[in-house]
Amino acid sequence: MLSEARSGSVPFTCSSSIIEVQALEQLGREGTVELVNDFMEIGRYGIMRVPALVADEQVVLAGRVPDVSELMTILGGTEQ
């Protein structure tokens, strides 16, 4: 499962979710993209900068939105 941590209504939320879905599709992997706005949940992962991406309970990216190719590299190294 992928979780996105967001603070408030960040305008690139939809576009970054689309990037995550595109990366999963190009990798031939299935997953769930979940938007998390709860500060307590975000803090549970020790995330200090948003947006952030959590894959398989590990913070894999924080503080920026990657492009599809970078995200494919990041997600390609995680377990299914």
Residue 46: what pLDDT? 93
Residue 21: what pLDDT? 75
pLDDT, tens digit, for every residue of 20-78? 777 878 888 877 777 888 889 889 999 998 888 888 888 988 998 888 889 888 888 65
Residue 3: what pLDDT? 54
- CB crowding 5-40: b at 16 or more within 10 Å, else e: bbeeeeeebeebbebbeebbeebeeebebeebeeee
Give the separation between CA 49 and CA 53, rounded to whole angstroms.
10
Question: Is residue 80 predicted with pLDDT exceeding 80?
Answer: no
